[in-house]
Protein backbone atom coordinates (compact mmCIF):
# COMPACT_ATOMS: atom_id res chain seq x y z
CA UNK A 1 0.00 0.00 0.00
CA UNK A 2 1.45 3.37 -1.10
CA UNK A 3 1.02 6.41 1.16
CA UNK A 4 0.48 9.83 -0.42
CA UNK A 5 0.78 13.07 1.54
CA UNK A 6 -2.00 15.17 0.07
CA UNK A 7 -2.60 18.89 0.58
CA UNK A 8 -5.87 19.57 2.43
CA UNK A 9 -7.81 22.71 3.21
CA UNK A 10 -9.56 23.65 6.45
CA UNK A 11 -11.80 20.65 5.85
CA UNK A 12 -9.83 17.40 5.58
CA UNK A 13 -11.71 16.24 2.54
CA UNK A 14 -11.11 19.24 0.31
CA UNK A 15 -7.92 18.21 -1.49
CA UNK A 16 -7.02 20.96 -3.90
CA UNK A 17 -3.34 20.69 -4.86
CA UNK A 18 -2.97 20.37 -8.65
CA UNK A 19 0.29 18.48 -8.13
CA UNK A 20 -1.28 16.01 -5.67
CA UNK A 21 -4.07 15.46 -8.21
CA UNK A 22 -1.46 14.57 -10.80
CA UNK A 23 -0.05 11.99 -8.38
CA UNK A 24 -3.46 10.55 -7.45
CA UNK A 25 -4.51 10.18 -11.10
CA UNK A 26 -1.11 8.63 -11.91
CA UNK A 27 -1.55 6.07 -9.11
CA UNK A 28 -5.06 5.27 -10.38
CA UNK A 29 -3.75 4.93 -13.94
CA UNK A 30 -1.16 2.41 -12.75
CA UNK A 31 -3.84 0.55 -10.82
CA UNK A 32 -1.92 0.87 -7.57
CA UNK A 33 -3.56 0.86 -4.13
CA UNK A 34 -2.85 3.95 -2.07
CA UNK A 35 -4.03 5.84 0.97
CA UNK A 36 -3.80 9.61 1.38
CA UNK A 37 -2.68 11.51 4.47
CA UNK A 38 -4.08 15.04 4.71
CA UNK A 39 -1.31 17.60 5.01
CA UNK A 40 -1.22 21.39 5.43
CA UNK A 41 1.28 23.93 4.09
CA UNK A 42 2.82 24.53 7.52
CA UNK A 43 3.28 20.87 8.46
CA UNK A 44 6.84 20.77 7.18
CA UNK A 45 7.91 18.34 9.94
CA UNK A 46 5.46 15.68 8.81
CA UNK A 47 7.27 15.31 5.47
CA UNK A 48 10.79 16.16 6.63
CA UNK A 49 11.70 12.46 6.07
CA UNK A 50 11.36 13.11 2.33
CA UNK A 51 13.73 16.05 2.17
CA UNK A 52 10.90 18.05 0.58
CA UNK A 53 8.97 21.00 1.96
CA UNK A 54 6.01 20.50 -0.33
CA UNK A 55 3.65 17.72 -1.36
CA UNK A 56 3.01 15.40 -3.12
CA UNK A 57 5.30 12.98 -1.34
CA UNK A 58 4.79 9.24 -1.62
CA UNK A 59 6.13 6.39 0.47
CA UNK A 60 6.18 3.06 -1.33
CA UNK A 61 7.68 0.48 1.00
CA UNK A 62 11.17 1.77 1.71
CA UNK A 63 11.12 4.17 -1.24
CA UNK A 64 10.23 7.84 -0.77
CA UNK A 65 9.62 10.10 -3.76
CA UNK A 66 8.78 13.82 -3.66
CA UNK A 67 7.58 16.06 -6.52
CA UNK A 68 4.77 15.15 -8.90
CA UNK A 69 6.99 14.77 -11.96
CA UNK A 70 9.46 12.54 -10.10
CA UNK A 71 6.53 10.45 -8.86
CA UNK A 72 5.24 9.91 -12.41
CA UNK A 73 8.68 8.90 -13.68
CA UNK A 74 9.19 6.63 -10.64
CA UNK A 75 5.85 4.85 -11.08
CA UNK A 76 6.60 4.01 -14.72
CA UNK A 77 10.07 2.75 -13.79
CA UNK A 78 9.02 0.78 -10.71
CA UNK A 79 5.90 -0.74 -12.31
CA UNK A 80 6.76 -1.25 -15.98
CA UNK A 81 4.23 -4.05 -16.47
CA UNK A 82 1.33 -1.80 -15.52
CA UNK A 83 -0.21 0.75 -17.96
CA UNK A 84 2.35 3.40 -18.86
CA UNK A 85 1.89 7.07 -18.00
CA UNK A 86 4.53 7.93 -20.60
CA UNK A 87 5.73 5.24 -22.98
CA UNK A 88 9.27 5.88 -24.12
CA UNK A 89 11.74 8.77 -24.02
CA UNK A 90 9.92 10.83 -26.67
CA UNK A 91 6.67 10.79 -24.72
CA UNK A 92 8.52 11.66 -21.50
CA UNK A 93 10.15 14.70 -23.14
CA UNK A 94 6.97 15.90 -24.90
CA UNK A 95 4.91 15.41 -21.73
CA UNK A 96 7.52 17.33 -19.76
CA UNK A 97 7.09 20.16 -22.23
CA UNK A 98 3.34 19.97 -21.76
CA UNK A 99 3.65 20.31 -18.00
CA UNK A 100 6.19 23.13 -18.26
CA UNK A 101 3.71 24.97 -20.46
CA UNK A 102 0.77 24.19 -18.16
CA UNK A 103 2.54 25.62 -15.12
CA UNK A 104 3.60 28.82 -16.88
CA UNK A 105 0.54 29.51 -18.96
CA UNK A 106 -3.01 28.29 -18.10
CA UNK A 107 -2.24 27.29 -14.50
CA UNK A 108 -0.66 30.65 -13.74
CA UNK A 109 -3.61 32.42 -15.36
CA UNK A 110 -6.01 30.27 -13.35
CA UNK A 111 -4.22 31.10 -10.12
CA UNK A 112 -5.44 34.69 -10.52
CA UNK A 113 -9.00 33.42 -10.94
CA UNK A 114 -9.07 31.22 -7.83
CA UNK A 115 -6.45 32.74 -5.54
CA UNK A 116 -8.91 34.35 -3.13
CA UNK A 117 -11.07 31.20 -3.12
CA UNK A 118 -8.01 29.18 -2.15
CA UNK A 119 -7.13 31.63 0.59
CA UNK A 120 -10.63 31.35 2.01
CA UNK A 121 -10.56 27.53 2.02
CA UNK A 122 -7.15 26.82 3.52
CA UNK A 123 -6.64 25.94 7.17
CA UNK A 124 -6.49 28.88 9.60
CA UNK A 125 -3.00 27.87 10.67
CA UNK A 126 -1.84 28.09 7.03
CA UNK A 127 -3.19 31.55 6.25
CA UNK A 128 -0.28 33.67 7.47
CA UNK A 129 2.23 31.36 5.72
CA UNK A 130 0.24 31.39 2.50
CA UNK A 131 -0.22 35.15 2.41
CA UNK A 132 3.39 35.88 3.26
CA UNK A 133 4.99 33.38 0.86
CA UNK A 134 2.73 34.28 -2.08
CA UNK A 135 2.90 38.04 -1.55
CA UNK A 136 6.67 37.75 -1.52
CA UNK A 137 6.52 35.86 -4.83
CA UNK A 138 4.08 38.29 -6.47
CA UNK A 139 5.60 41.43 -4.99
CA UNK A 140 2.14 42.70 -4.05
CA UNK A 141 -0.91 41.89 -1.95
CA UNK A 142 -2.96 38.81 -2.87
CA UNK A 143 -6.04 40.92 -3.57
CA UNK A 144 -4.05 43.19 -5.87
CA UNK A 145 -2.43 40.32 -7.81
CA UNK A 146 -5.77 38.58 -8.35
CA UNK A 147 -7.05 41.71 -10.08
CA UNK A 148 -10.30 41.84 -12.01
CA UNK A 149 -12.06 38.41 -12.00
CA UNK A 150 -13.56 38.81 -15.49
CA UNK A 151 -10.23 39.73 -17.01
CA UNK A 152 -8.54 36.85 -15.20
CA UNK A 153 -11.11 34.36 -16.51
CA UNK A 154 -10.77 35.65 -20.07
CA UNK A 155 -6.98 35.36 -19.83
CA UNK A 156 -7.30 31.77 -18.56
CA UNK A 157 -9.60 30.77 -21.40
CA UNK A 158 -7.25 32.41 -23.89
CA UNK A 159 -4.28 30.56 -22.42
CA UNK A 160 -5.95 27.24 -23.29
CA UNK A 161 -5.93 28.08 -27.03
CA UNK A 162 -3.10 25.72 -28.13
CA UNK A 163 -4.73 22.66 -26.54
CA UNK A 164 -8.13 23.12 -28.21
CA UNK A 165 -7.25 21.95 -31.74
CA UNK A 166 -5.53 18.92 -30.20
CA UNK A 167 -8.70 18.00 -28.28
CA UNK A 168 -10.82 18.42 -31.41
CA UNK A 169 -8.62 15.82 -33.14
CA UNK A 170 -7.97 13.50 -30.20
CA UNK A 171 -9.94 12.11 -27.28
CA UNK A 172 -7.05 12.85 -24.94
CA UNK A 173 -3.99 15.11 -24.87
CA UNK A 174 -2.05 11.83 -24.97
CA UNK A 175 -3.95 10.54 -28.02
CA UNK A 176 -6.39 7.63 -27.99
CA UNK A 177 -6.15 7.04 -24.25
CA UNK A 178 -5.28 9.14 -21.22
CA UNK A 179 -1.65 9.65 -20.20
CA UNK A 180 0.27 11.78 -17.78
CA UNK A 181 -0.29 14.96 -19.84
CA UNK A 182 -4.03 14.53 -19.27
CA UNK A 183 -3.51 14.27 -15.53
CA UNK A 184 -1.40 17.42 -15.58
CA UNK A 185 -4.25 19.35 -17.16
CA UNK A 186 -6.92 17.66 -15.05
CA UNK A 187 -4.93 18.45 -11.89
CA UNK A 188 -5.20 22.11 -12.78
CA UNK A 189 -8.99 21.86 -13.15
CA UNK A 190 -9.41 19.88 -9.93
CA UNK A 191 -7.40 22.53 -8.08
CA UNK A 192 -10.03 25.05 -9.12
CA UNK A 193 -13.06 22.83 -8.68
CA UNK A 194 -12.19 21.89 -5.10
CA UNK A 195 -12.17 25.50 -3.91
CA UNK A 196 -13.93 27.77 -6.41
CA UNK A 197 -17.49 28.06 -7.74
CA UNK A 198 -16.25 29.90 -10.85
CA UNK A 199 -17.53 28.35 -14.08
CA UNK A 200 -14.31 28.01 -16.02
CA UNK A 201 -15.43 26.57 -19.36
CA UNK A 202 -18.40 26.90 -21.65
CA UNK A 203 -20.01 23.55 -22.49
CA UNK A 204 -19.20 23.97 -26.20
CA UNK A 205 -15.49 24.23 -25.44
CA UNK A 206 -13.60 21.10 -26.61
CA UNK A 207 -11.74 21.27 -23.31
CA UNK A 208 -15.07 20.86 -21.50
CA UNK A 209 -15.84 17.55 -23.28
CA UNK A 210 -12.30 16.35 -22.61
CA UNK A 211 -12.63 17.20 -18.90
CA UNK A 212 -15.83 15.13 -18.74
CA UNK A 213 -13.95 12.17 -20.20
CA UNK A 214 -11.14 12.44 -17.64
CA UNK A 215 -13.58 12.94 -14.75
CA UNK A 216 -15.24 9.67 -15.83
CA UNK A 217 -12.01 7.65 -15.59
CA UNK A 218 -11.50 5.12 -12.79
CA UNK A 219 -15.20 4.98 -11.93
CA UNK A 220 -15.44 8.74 -11.67
CA UNK A 221 -12.63 9.03 -9.11
CA UNK A 222 -11.82 12.72 -9.70
CA UNK A 223 -15.48 13.64 -10.15
CA UNK A 224 -16.27 12.24 -6.70
CA UNK A 225 -13.82 14.59 -4.98
CA UNK A 226 -15.23 17.13 -2.55
CA UNK A 227 -15.60 20.32 -4.53
CA UNK A 228 -18.03 22.36 -6.58
CA UNK A 229 -20.03 20.52 -9.22
CA UNK A 230 -19.10 20.70 -12.90
CA UNK A 231 -21.81 22.90 -14.32
CA UNK A 232 -23.73 21.80 -17.38
CA UNK B 1 11.59 11.56 -56.42
CA UNK B 2 9.31 13.81 -54.34
CA UNK B 3 8.77 17.41 -55.44
CA UNK B 4 8.38 20.13 -52.80
CA UNK B 5 7.08 23.61 -53.60
CA UNK B 6 9.22 25.81 -51.38
CA UNK B 7 8.71 29.50 -50.59
CA UNK B 8 11.55 31.64 -51.94
CA UNK B 9 12.50 35.29 -51.55
CA UNK B 10 13.74 37.70 -54.19
CA UNK B 11 16.75 35.42 -54.51
CA UNK B 12 15.82 31.85 -55.45
CA UNK B 13 18.08 30.32 -52.87
CA UNK B 14 16.77 32.12 -49.80
CA UNK B 15 14.11 29.70 -48.61
CA UNK B 16 12.58 31.11 -45.47
CA UNK B 17 9.17 29.51 -44.84
CA UNK B 18 9.09 27.87 -41.37
CA UNK B 19 6.48 25.41 -42.67
CA UNK B 20 8.56 24.46 -45.71
CA UNK B 21 11.51 23.90 -43.36
CA UNK B 22 9.40 21.51 -41.34
CA UNK B 23 8.66 19.58 -44.54
CA UNK B 24 12.28 19.58 -45.72
CA UNK B 25 13.56 18.32 -42.38
CA UNK B 26 10.79 15.70 -42.28
CA UNK B 27 11.81 14.44 -45.75
CA UNK B 28 15.45 14.30 -44.65
CA UNK B 29 14.47 12.43 -41.46
CA UNK B 30 12.64 9.84 -43.53
CA UNK B 31 15.66 9.55 -45.84
CA UNK B 32 13.57 10.37 -48.91
CA UNK B 33 14.97 11.97 -52.06
CA UNK B 34 13.31 15.24 -53.00
CA UNK B 35 13.78 18.28 -55.20
CA UNK B 36 12.47 21.74 -54.37
CA UNK B 37 10.71 24.15 -56.70
CA UNK B 38 11.04 27.82 -55.70
CA UNK B 39 7.64 29.44 -55.26
CA UNK B 40 6.45 32.97 -54.43
CA UNK B 41 3.40 34.09 -52.45
CA UNK B 42 1.59 35.33 -55.55
CA UNK B 43 2.15 32.22 -57.69
CA UNK B 44 -1.19 30.69 -56.69
CA UNK B 45 -1.65 29.13 -60.14
CA UNK B 46 1.51 27.03 -59.83
CA UNK B 47 0.04 25.09 -56.89
CA UNK B 48 -3.63 25.23 -57.91
CA UNK B 49 -3.44 21.46 -58.63
CA UNK B 50 -3.10 20.91 -54.87
CA UNK B 51 -6.21 22.85 -53.87
CA UNK B 52 -3.99 24.91 -51.54
CA UNK B 53 -3.03 28.56 -51.78
CA UNK B 54 0.06 28.20 -49.64
CA UNK B 55 3.15 26.03 -49.45
CA UNK B 56 4.50 23.54 -48.55
CA UNK B 57 2.91 21.30 -51.13
CA UNK B 58 4.49 17.97 -52.08
CA UNK B 59 3.90 15.72 -55.05
CA UNK B 60 4.89 12.11 -54.46
CA UNK B 61 4.08 10.12 -57.59
CA UNK B 62 0.34 10.53 -58.03
CA UNK B 63 -0.17 11.75 -54.44
CA UNK B 64 -0.37 15.45 -53.63
CA UNK B 65 -0.28 16.67 -50.03
CA UNK B 66 -0.54 20.28 -48.84
CA UNK B 67 0.11 21.71 -45.33
CA UNK B 68 3.18 20.89 -43.25
CA UNK B 69 1.30 18.90 -40.61
CA UNK B 70 -0.51 16.81 -43.23
CA UNK B 71 2.81 16.17 -44.94
CA UNK B 72 4.37 14.87 -41.70
CA UNK B 73 1.42 12.57 -41.02
CA UNK B 74 1.44 11.39 -44.66
CA UNK B 75 5.15 10.59 -44.66
CA UNK B 76 4.86 8.41 -41.55
CA UNK B 77 1.84 6.60 -43.01
CA UNK B 78 3.26 6.15 -46.52
CA UNK B 79 6.74 5.14 -45.36
CA UNK B 80 6.24 3.21 -42.11
CA UNK B 81 9.48 1.25 -42.44
CA UNK B 82 11.59 4.41 -42.45
CA UNK B 83 12.47 6.34 -39.24
CA UNK B 84 9.30 7.71 -37.63
CA UNK B 85 8.67 11.42 -37.20
CA UNK B 86 6.03 10.60 -34.60
CA UNK B 87 5.74 7.03 -33.31
CA UNK B 88 2.23 6.24 -32.19
CA UNK B 89 -0.95 8.18 -31.45
CA UNK B 90 0.34 9.66 -28.18
CA UNK B 91 3.36 11.20 -29.88
CA UNK B 92 1.19 12.52 -32.72
CA UNK B 93 -1.15 14.26 -30.25
CA UNK B 94 1.63 15.65 -28.04
CA UNK B 95 3.59 16.84 -31.08
CA UNK B 96 0.45 18.48 -32.45
CA UNK B 97 0.17 20.33 -29.15
CA UNK B 98 3.81 21.38 -29.48
CA UNK B 99 3.23 22.85 -32.93
CA UNK B 100 0.00 24.57 -31.88
CA UNK B 101 1.97 26.21 -29.06
CA UNK B 102 4.90 27.11 -31.35
CA UNK B 103 2.64 28.88 -33.83
CA UNK B 104 0.80 30.88 -31.17
CA UNK B 105 3.65 31.67 -28.83
CA UNK B 106 7.35 31.89 -29.86
CA UNK B 107 6.72 31.95 -33.62
CA UNK B 108 4.20 34.78 -33.30
CA UNK B 109 6.61 36.68 -31.04
CA UNK B 110 9.42 36.09 -33.54
CA UNK B 111 7.31 37.40 -36.40
CA UNK B 112 7.48 40.84 -34.78
CA UNK B 113 11.27 40.58 -34.61
CA UNK B 114 11.81 39.64 -38.27
CA UNK B 115 8.76 41.03 -40.06
CA UNK B 116 10.54 43.96 -41.68
CA UNK B 117 13.50 41.76 -42.62
CA UNK B 118 11.11 39.39 -44.35
CA UNK B 119 9.44 42.26 -46.17
CA UNK B 120 12.79 43.46 -47.42
CA UNK B 121 13.81 40.01 -48.69
CA UNK B 122 10.67 38.89 -50.51
CA UNK B 123 10.27 39.17 -54.28
CA UNK B 124 9.18 42.57 -55.61
CA UNK B 125 6.07 41.04 -57.13
CA UNK B 126 5.06 39.68 -53.69
CA UNK B 127 5.42 42.94 -51.73
CA UNK B 128 1.98 44.42 -52.32
CA UNK B 129 0.31 41.06 -51.58
CA UNK B 130 2.36 40.56 -48.43
CA UNK B 131 1.74 44.05 -47.08
CA UNK B 132 -1.97 43.96 -47.82
CA UNK B 133 -2.69 40.48 -46.47
CA UNK B 134 -0.63 40.94 -43.29
CA UNK B 135 -1.88 44.45 -42.56
CA UNK B 136 -5.41 43.13 -42.88
CA UNK B 137 -4.57 40.37 -40.38
CA UNK B 138 -2.86 42.71 -37.91
CA UNK B 139 -5.27 45.61 -38.33
CA UNK B 140 -2.35 48.04 -38.64
CA UNK B 141 0.70 48.88 -40.70
CA UNK B 142 3.58 46.37 -40.74
CA UNK B 143 5.95 48.91 -39.23
CA UNK B 144 3.51 49.63 -36.42
CA UNK B 145 2.87 45.96 -35.62
CA UNK B 146 6.60 45.15 -35.50
CA UNK B 147 7.02 47.77 -32.78
CA UNK B 148 10.18 48.16 -30.75
CA UNK B 149 12.84 45.57 -31.81
CA UNK B 150 14.34 45.22 -28.32
CA UNK B 151 10.95 44.59 -26.76
CA UNK B 152 10.07 42.11 -29.48
CA UNK B 153 13.30 40.17 -28.95
CA UNK B 154 12.78 40.06 -25.19
CA UNK B 155 9.23 38.79 -25.70
CA UNK B 156 10.48 36.09 -28.06
CA UNK B 157 13.11 34.89 -25.60
CA UNK B 158 10.52 34.87 -22.83
CA UNK B 159 8.12 32.85 -24.97
CA UNK B 160 10.71 30.06 -25.16
CA UNK B 161 10.65 29.57 -21.37
CA UNK B 162 8.67 26.28 -21.26
CA UNK B 163 11.01 24.51 -23.67
CA UNK B 164 14.22 25.35 -21.79
CA UNK B 165 13.88 22.87 -18.88
CA UNK B 166 13.02 20.16 -21.43
CA UNK B 167 16.21 20.86 -23.38
CA UNK B 168 18.27 20.81 -20.19
CA UNK B 169 17.00 17.26 -19.52
CA UNK B 170 16.87 15.97 -23.11
CA UNK B 171 19.05 16.26 -26.21
CA UNK B 172 15.94 16.86 -28.32
CA UNK B 173 12.36 18.06 -27.79
CA UNK B 174 11.43 14.52 -28.87
CA UNK B 175 13.76 12.89 -26.33
CA UNK B 176 16.92 10.97 -27.19
CA UNK B 177 16.67 11.60 -30.92
CA UNK B 178 15.10 14.25 -33.14
CA UNK B 179 11.43 14.02 -34.10
CA UNK B 180 8.86 16.20 -35.78
CA UNK B 181 8.61 18.55 -32.76
CA UNK B 182 12.28 19.40 -33.25
CA UNK B 183 11.68 20.25 -36.89
CA UNK B 184 8.76 22.48 -35.92
CA UNK B 185 11.02 24.50 -33.65
CA UNK B 186 13.95 24.44 -36.07
CA UNK B 187 11.66 25.62 -38.88
CA UNK B 188 10.93 28.70 -36.80
CA UNK B 189 14.65 29.42 -36.34
CA UNK B 190 15.46 28.82 -40.01
CA UNK B 191 12.70 31.26 -40.99
CA UNK B 192 14.56 33.93 -39.05
CA UNK B 193 18.07 32.93 -40.03
CA UNK B 194 17.31 33.03 -43.76
CA UNK B 195 16.22 36.65 -43.69
CA UNK B 196 17.37 38.38 -40.51
CA UNK B 197 20.76 39.22 -38.98
CA UNK B 198 19.20 39.48 -35.50
CA UNK B 199 21.02 37.39 -32.92
CA UNK B 200 18.12 35.51 -31.36
CA UNK B 201 19.78 33.44 -28.63
CA UNK B 202 22.65 33.83 -26.21
CA UNK B 203 25.19 30.99 -26.46
CA UNK B 204 24.47 29.90 -22.86
CA UNK B 205 20.79 29.34 -23.66
CA UNK B 206 19.93 25.60 -23.69
CA UNK B 207 17.93 26.32 -26.84
CA UNK B 208 21.16 27.49 -28.51
CA UNK B 209 22.91 24.15 -27.90
CA UNK B 210 19.83 22.27 -29.10
CA UNK B 211 19.74 24.36 -32.29
CA UNK B 212 23.38 23.47 -32.96
CA UNK B 213 22.49 19.78 -32.66
CA UNK B 214 19.60 20.07 -35.12
CA UNK B 215 21.65 22.17 -37.55
CA UNK B 216 24.23 19.34 -37.55
CA UNK B 217 21.70 16.68 -38.60
CA UNK B 218 21.79 15.18 -42.10
CA UNK B 219 25.34 16.40 -42.79
CA UNK B 220 24.46 19.94 -41.76
CA UNK B 221 21.58 20.25 -44.23
CA UNK B 222 19.79 23.14 -42.48
CA UNK B 223 23.05 24.86 -41.58
CA UNK B 224 24.03 24.97 -45.25
CA UNK B 225 20.93 26.96 -46.21
CA UNK B 226 21.45 30.45 -47.60
CA UNK B 227 21.00 32.78 -44.65
CA UNK B 228 22.84 34.62 -41.93
CA UNK B 229 25.40 32.65 -39.94
CA UNK B 230 24.63 31.32 -36.47
CA UNK B 231 26.66 33.60 -34.27
CA UNK B 232 28.99 32.14 -31.68
Per-residue confidence band for B86, with pLDDT thresholds at 50, 70 and 90 = very high
Kindly report, residue by residue over A109-126, the tens digit of the pLDDT.
999 999 999 999 999 999
Calpha distance A109→B7 (Å, rounded): 37
Q: Do A100 and B166 touch (CB under 8 A)?
A: yes
Of A100, A105, A181, the CB nearest to B94: A181
pLDDT, position B12: 85
Check residues A192 and B229 and name the one with the higher pLDDT: A192
Q: What is the pLDDT of residue A231?
A: 59
Buried b or exposed e, range A101-135, using 16+ CB within 10 angstroms: bbbebbbebbbbbbbbbbbebbbeebeeebeeebe
Asked whether residue B168 is domain-assigned, the answer is yes
> CA of A229, closest CA in chain B: separation in Å?
28
| Count of structural domains, chain A | 1
| Contact of A168 with B100, CB cutoff 8 Å | no
Predicted ipTM?
A: 0.96
Nearest CA in chain A to B103: A162
Q: Look at residue A232 and tell me if it is in a domain.
A: no
- Do A98 and B94 make contact, defined as CB atoms within 8 angstroms? yes
Among A87, A94, A178, the strongest candidate for a mutation testing the B interface, having the largest count of B CBs within 10 A, is A94
pLDDT block averages, 10 residues each, chain A of length 232 = 96 93 98 98 96 98 98 98 98 98 98 96 96 97 96 98 98 98 98 95 97 97 91 50
What is the rounded distance in angstroms from the CA atom of residue B217 to the CA atom of residue A200? 44
Measured between CA atoms, how close is B166 to chain A, in angstroms?
A: 6
Nearest CB to B174 within list A93, A162, A163: A93
**Does residue B232 sit within a domain?**
no
Looking at CA atoms only, how far is residue B158 from chain A in angstroms? 11
Distance CA B38, CA B5 (A): 6
Give the distance from residue A174's alpha carbon to the nearest chain B alpha carbon, in angstroms. 5
Nearest to A192 by CA among A11, A4, A14: A14
Give dist(CA A77, CA A170) in Å, integer: 27
* Among B92, B205, B226, CA closest to B159: B205
CB contact under 8 A, A93 and B163: no
Nearest to B174 among A87, A94, A172 (CB): A94
Residue A96 placed within a domain: yes
Q: What is the mean pLDDT of residues B186-215?
A: 96
Please give the angle made by the CA atoms of B177, B68 and B129, to the nearest 5 degrees: 135
CB contact under 8 A, B175 and A97: no
Residue B232 has pLDDT above 50, yes or no: no
The phi-psi region of residue B4 (left if phi > 0; otherwise alpha if psi is between -120 and 50; otherwise beta) is: beta
Q: Is residue B128 one of the residues assigned to a domain?
A: yes
Strand partners, A36: A4
Angle between helices B206-220 and B180-195 (to 10 degrees): 90
Sign of CA dihedral A206, A158, A192, A170: positive
| Residue A231 within any structural domain of the chain | no
Which of chain B's residues have a Cβ under 8 Å away from the Cβ of A95? 94
Contacts of A88 in chain B (CB under 8 A): 87, 175
Residue of B88, B207, B214 lying closest to B159 (CA atoms):
B207
SS (H, E, C) A88-115: CHHHHHHHHHHHHHHHHCHHHHHHHHHH
Alpha carbon distance B120, B9 (integer Å) = 9
As a whole number, the mean pLDDT across chain B is 96
Range of the domain at A148: 2-220
Distance from CA of A37 to the nearest CA of B (A): 31
Each residue's pLDDT tens digit, B18-70: 999 999 999 999 999 999 999 999 999 999 999 999 999 999 999 999 999 99
Query: What is the distance in angstroms between the CA of the first residue and the CA of the last residue of chain A?
Result: 37
Q: Is residue B76 part of a domain?
A: yes
Question: Least CB-CB distance to B175: which of A89, A161, A179?
Answer: A89
Dist. CA A100–CA A103, nearest whole Å: 5
Tell me the C-alpha distance between A195 and A122, whole Å. 9
Sign (positive/negative) of CA torsion A40, A41, A45, A50? positive
Q: What is the C-alpha separation between B84 and B181, in angstroms, rounded? A: 12
Does the model's pTM come out above 0.90? Answer: yes
B168 pLDDT higher than 70: yes
Confidence at residue B11, expressed as pLDDT on a 0 to 100 scale: 86
Question: In this complex, which of B88, B103, B161 lies closest to A104 when CB atoms are compared?
Answer: B161
Q: Is residue B228 part of a domain?
A: no
What is the predicted pLDDT for the residue at B231?
60
- Taking only the tens place, the pLDDT of each residue in B106-160 is 999 999 999 999 999 999 999 999 999 999 999 999 999 999 999 999 999 999 9
Q: Is residue B90 within 8 Å of residue A175, measured between CB atoms?
A: yes
What's the CATH number where B28 sits?
3.40.30.10
Amino acid sequence: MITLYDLAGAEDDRRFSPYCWRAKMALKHKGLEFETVPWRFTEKDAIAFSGSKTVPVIRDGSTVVADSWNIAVYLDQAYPSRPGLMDGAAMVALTDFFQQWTIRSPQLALFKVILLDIFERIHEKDKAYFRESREKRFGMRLEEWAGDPKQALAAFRGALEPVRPVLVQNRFVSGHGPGYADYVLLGMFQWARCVSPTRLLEPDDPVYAWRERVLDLFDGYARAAKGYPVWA
